[in-house]
Chain A
């Protein structure tokens, strides 16, 4: 049977049908929000933005500017739901009253059961989704923008309240010429939220004390008006961070951050500071080299952006340092202060 069926197949049929394999997941679930809505009826979706959150009823969603297009999908097993006219609200409009969608952030689309898909705002804006031919399932490239919407109407009808919920994520196109991976089509969408896109990290500071400094803490300290310091290299690149001596000052003695936390007496007596990187490399700096040196900084930004991969998250940079001594991927700073 195995061989006979093989022989019966025409190449075209095989190739056309075979691509049905391609495809995304398709495991999206969810239900409605219980939070109070701003209008009549039950709230169906909570929108959490940078300037607060708001819960909307289905009627309020319907009253927003509508975006319409063709939405279809391809399940993880290759099944194709052909594209049909679908109507909803695009995410830019949905977030308008809670601060909009910042370019450098992401959006989480959350279903009732907690299932969540996250997509960058950049991808939403670019409309960069893998698309498939609605007949063959082959990947295809389509002209025209692909737009992510929170949909409430499909083929002129509301979604099935039992199986899909009142709102469903949909990727729509102007023409009836594509389907997208099923995992984007989150059912029972109950919450959408703006999310930070950065990865977290921890810098371990050790000396007399030990501190696990997380990214937000470092960035707060590196803010302009706090301890944020710029240093410009020979090529005009601007590195932004915190002077090394200030970081050491948090752990060199019992004084973490009160008054002059940096222990001048200890520094003048002399000790080494060992800096370790994620790739196993390390470097040592003498305390006199960093003594109130505001041109020797632990940088977390280069020209206003997160550091490139080779250096991320932190790099030691500064005046009079050789390039080879500017250690990147810093994870630990250890002040080898003498024991009392």
Chain B
């Protein structure tokens, strides 16, 4: 049964990626458009690959005149395709809603002079979890009480996504630092991440909390117990093959892929608004300026997915249809089917700027 889950999950990954095969994000040139002309280009957080496969299929069944071209990326990367590379996209969805105002509100489309975005809908949430497979080392004994000790054991390999690219990556660093506080384990961050990178990831205490600094060069040393991949979903096949034993994943993704997982306490899983102040005690700073438009500093915050229709959308009307479909009963059902929690009505930043058809599913954000 577990194998079947894997097969199904991988199939939907394939379908989505094939749909995105014509994108220009392959070392491609900046500017212009990418994706199939005439189709709706959706750039979305890779953690939504499974539900968005179903979303695409069901939407196209209802709207046969609209072809949807889904492209899953790391959230920073997804948004950078519009904000930095100035490529056209019809819908942008990130696993961190803060990326949209950070990267698109203040960046203008050179062709129109308009900001790439002026609103975003905060429509979904998630929880950080520690995923593993039945074949993982110590799978028969790991639990919510001993996971820290287990992932630090000799020979255990831990997968993490790249915090320079993927929202999940910087959230892993936050979760581990928060665990250090929550479990009163001084030095835990250093135990897990110390000495494994050629240029260290460092954590320092400041007046406002912990500041974790990620260097420009993030290369693991030979024999490191940390295995780094660009995106959190890139770690899934490694978990399955036994290349790694554990990986920090979103809980929805672990469920979708039939993985075993450890639920983490709300104080550290970045899910609960009630602990927003706790999460805010950790900040991750990228110690370089790779992306012209990225302010490379992320403060701990509850996981909230954001969606917007960029001002350079090729087909804004169809984009609205798709976003409304996502936020409406069909989308809610699809997301629930795939363990992806939603927030309804969805708080919207700059509510008054929303398209009318979207307002019905939203409420003004605080």
Contacts and interface: CB of A to CB of B under 8 A. Distances in A.
Per DSSP, are chain A's interface residues mostly helix, strand or loop, or mixed?
loop
12 contacts: A14-B8, A21-B13, A27-B27, A27-B84, A77-B23, A78-B21, A118-B216, A130-B229, A163-B29, A197-B198, A199-B287, A310-B194
Contacts of A106: 216-217
A186 B58 CA distance: 37
A14 B11 contact: yes
A118 B218 CA distance: 9
Interface in B1-50: 3, 6-11, 13-14, 17-18, 20-21, 23, 25-30, 46, 49
Given A21-B49, A78-B21, A312-B200, A6 B11 contact: yes
Interface in B202-236: 202-206, 213, 215-217, 219, 222, 229-230, 233-234, 236
Contacts of B8: 6, 9, 14
B74 interface: yes
A218 interface: no
Contacts of B230: 23-25, 76, 181, 183
Interface residues of A, number: 67
A150 B237 CA distance: 32
Interface string A81-119: 100000000000000000000000010000001111011
Contact of B237 (A19, A73, A81): A19
Given A27-B85, A138-B237, A309-B194, A18 B28 contact: no
A188 B30 CA distance: 10
A206 interface: no
A84 B351 CA distance: 51
Say whether chain B's binding surface is mostly helix, strand, loop, or mixed: mixed
Contact of A14 (B10, B18, B23): B10
A309 B202 contact: yes
A279 B58 CA distance: 52
A128 interface: yes
Contact of A15 (B10, B26, B288): B10
B7 A11 contact: yes
Given A18-B237, A21-B234, A29-B29, A309 B23 contact: no
B29 A188 contact: yes
Contacts of A312: 200, 202
A18 B216 contact: no
Interface residues on B, range: 35 or more
Interface of B: 3, 6-11, 13-14, 17-18, 20-21, 23, 25-30, 46, 49, 54, 57-58, 61, 71-74, 77, 80-81, 84-85, 165, 186, 190, 194-195, 198-200, 202-206, 213, 215-217, 219, 222, 229-230, 233-234, 236-238, 243, 287-288, 290, 292
Given A113-B30, A310-B190, 4 more contacts: A14-B11, A76-B23, A118-B217, A197-B198
B190 A17 contact: no
Contact of A18 (B11, B21, B81, B84): B11
A280 interface: yes
Contacts of B26: 26, 73, 75-77, 79, 81, 182, 185
Contacts of B288: 118
Given A9-B11, A17-B11, A114-B292, A2 B54 contact: yes
A77 B57 contact: no
B20 A77 contact: yes
A199 B200 contact: yes
Contacts of A18: 7, 9-11, 13-14, 237
A134 to B, nearest CB: 15
Contacts of B71: 77
Contacts of A38: none
A77 B25 contact: yes
A185 B24 CA distance: 13
A72 to B, nearest CB: 11
A19 B10 contact: yes
A287 interface: no
A21 B233 contact: yes
A279 B85 contact: no
Nearest to B70: A77
Contacts of A11: 3, 7
Contact of A20 (B6, B17, B81, B198): B17
Contacts of B200: 199, 309, 312
Contacts of B199: 120, 197-199
A21 B14 contact: yes
A279 B73 CA distance: 35
B238 A183 contact: no
B304 to A, nearest CB: 23
Contacts of B18: 17, 20, 78
Chain A CB count within 10 A is highest, among B17, B28, B186, B194, for B17
A28 interface: yes
A22 interface: yes
A81 B26 CA distance: 9
Nearest to A31: B29
A329 B204 contact: yes
A289 interface: no
Interface string A193-204: 000011110000
